[in-house]
Structure 1
Amino acid sequence: MEGLDNKEMDVIIKENDRLVLENTELRKLVGLLQKNVELRNILEKTGRRIDESSIRSRKDSSASKEDKEDSSLSKELKSTEEGGNGNGGAGMHTPQNSQQLHRMQRIIGEIAFQLDRRILASIFQDRVRLYGITVTNILQKITETCTEDKSGQLDEAKKSELMKKYQEVMEKLKKHGYEPKIHPTFAEYIVNVYGIIKEYPIPGSIDLQHLLDPVNLKKIANSTVPASDLKDVLILLECLSNLSKEDGKPVFVW
């Protein structure tokens, strides 16, 4: 950024923030489109046919339904853990309807989201807010974080420290199949398509215990995620589980 004065830097920073917000909104739209495709596929498989008025009705009521769906997370989690035989493996559970599938998909999105946050927290340990920072743009953000606002001078020592932390966590994750050039983008894709949990179980409840059990989460992944994505989702889960064991915190931290 040599040769740029403070005013030009401010313009660039504001434009970058605007682009980040636009990108976030576009990702939300992609997620909504994906959900619409999934709903249509489910209806076709069951032989059901609905007209345009019914579709509009579903859209109008979707927001209120989402709040109710999360309150019954425990039911789906327990049924997955106790799932009967004949569904592809011990403990497997096949979602019975689109709402149940949607709730379980959110858990998959939460796995990807939590891993992303866990990685960032291990690198930017002195930052409470990580707005605008993701594992996909972390190298760029490390440089920005280590650059002084007024002088534009890069703090080489600070950058070296953050890069060391980044490389250390990447080496740990690689042992579990994580690929820095693949899985950060894949994790974003999973969050955008499946969403994340909207309402969390009460602390200390049986519901929360089921949700924080890596074995149970693996069963949910096996019964929810398409075969094309399953291997990578299980890699994300294994990485998250191992980071959890290392820092002594639950799998999901809110």
Structure 2
Amino acid sequence: MDLEQTVGALLSANEQLKQENDQLRSMLSVVKENIDLRARMQNLSNDTLEEVTVCAPSGRKPSSLWQTTIDERHFRKDLQQTKFKHEHRTSSPADFSSFIQSSVHIDRSEKEESHSCQADVPLEVKHRLLGEIAYQLDGRILSHVFQGHKRLYGFTLLNIPDKIIEVSTHPLTGQVDEGYRLHLQHRYADLMERLKEFGYKTALHPPFTEFIVNTYGILKDRPAENSPQAIDYNNPDFLRNLIITTAPRKLQKDLLLVLTCLSKVAKQDRKPLLLWK
């Protein structure tokens, strides 16, 4: 009976991994598609600008030609928005600056509701805040597992098992500290089990957060202590609304999950959401 249960559990785990791999492959496919789209749109924009510049005498732009160019651009933009709106995708591309403008559809009511609390936040900062949320969760997980290590350069969520082996092995003698290794493995497994309650998947969300950080970047400057920015950036409701109104729709579910996990870890640590060393 035990053998049957073990086989059943392994089959279930294998099916889950298969589904998560399919999601990752879909994400990679959309990334490639939108990189190609960006290149084509950039070439088209450059060709249009060159045509207008050549046709304008003495550096002046003919009003009729210029208006036609603007109208064509608006038409292409509307057409592209309609195309993305009706496509059923499972992920988003790596380039957010072009994709957000063409694929993210925000209802008028949502936009008006978010305007009052985010009016003073530049679009670039909003994008970087998305990356900061993912970056902060990764950092909190690493700090929890390797709590005795102040320098975590080269440590990522994807290489935690390898780093546990590395830091528990003496660099000169190769002797393994079995007790310390077991301690780290336990801390890692315990945290992953707690995050799993909120939907976190070890096979999916570590590469997802890495993708988000690489796509959006992180905040350049730390907000002044007790400033309005610091208060907003550490407010889960503000960040949740930011994700809903700024992130591509297909990324919102997992970004909201990442924010939930970050909020739970911060609450347990009794520290702000965003930490700077």
Q: What pairs up with 1:133-212 in 2 under 5 angstroms?
A: 133-212=155-234
User: Match for 1:237 among 246, 255, 259?
Assistant: 259
Task: Give a deviation string over 1:131-185, Cα, whole Å, max 9, x none.
Answer: 0001111011000111111111221111100000001110111111100110001
Q: Please, which runs of 5 or more residues in structure 1 have no aligned partner?
A: 1-29, 52-84
Matched, 1:120 2:142: yes
* Distance change >3 Å, CA 50–CA 139, structure 1 → 2: farther
CA positional deviation for 1:101: 2.8
In structure 2, C-alpha distance between the alignment counterparts of 1:211 and 1:112, rounded to whole Å: 13
Name the structure 2 match of 1:9. Answer: none
Query: Does the CA-based 8 Å contact 1:142-1:159 persist in structure 2?
Result: yes
Flag the 1:222–1:175 CA change in 2: closer, same or farther, 3 A.
Answer: same
Contact 2:145 2:188 in 1 (8 A): yes
Alpha-carbon distance between aligned partners in 2 of 1:224 and 1:170, rounded to the nearest angstrom = 28
**CA distance in 1: counterparts of 2:190 and 2:273, whole angstroms:** 20
Partner of 1:13: none
- The 2-side partners of 1:200 and 1:170 are apart by 29
Aligned to 1:60: none
Q: Secondary structure of 2:109's match? A: coil
Instruction: Tell me the matched-pair count.
Output: 184
Tell me the distance in 2 between the aligned counterparts of 1:37 and 1:93. Answer: 28
Root mean square deviation of aligned Cα:
3.3
1:89 CA displacement: 7.1
Identity, % of aligned positions:
39
How far apart are residue 220 of structure 1 and its match?
0.5
Structure 1 residue 201: deviation in Å?
A: 1.2
2:235 maps to 213
* Residue of structure 2 in register with 1:20 after alignment: none
Q: What are structure 2's unaligned runs of at least 5 residues?
A: 1-30, 51-106
**2 CA distance for matches of 1:116 and 1:139?**
15
Q: Which residue does the alignment assign to 1:75?
A: none
1:1-254 mapped onto 2 (5 Å cutoff): 37=38, 50=49, 86-88=108-110, 91-93=113-115, 100-254=122-276
Question: Is the contact made by 1:136 and 1:184 (CA closer than 8 Å) also made in structure 2?
Answer: yes
Question: 2:161 is matched by which residue type in structure 1?
Answer: L
Amino acid paired to 1:223: T
SS in 1 for 2:135: helix
2: CA distance, partners of 1:50 / 1:187: 37
What amino acid is aligned across from residue 148 of structure 1 in structure 2?
H
Larger-Rg structure:
2
Tell me which protein shows more helix as a share of its residues.
2
The Cα shift of 1:50 comes to 4.6
Distance 2:167 2:271 in 1: 27
Contact 2:111 2:245 in 1 (8 A): no
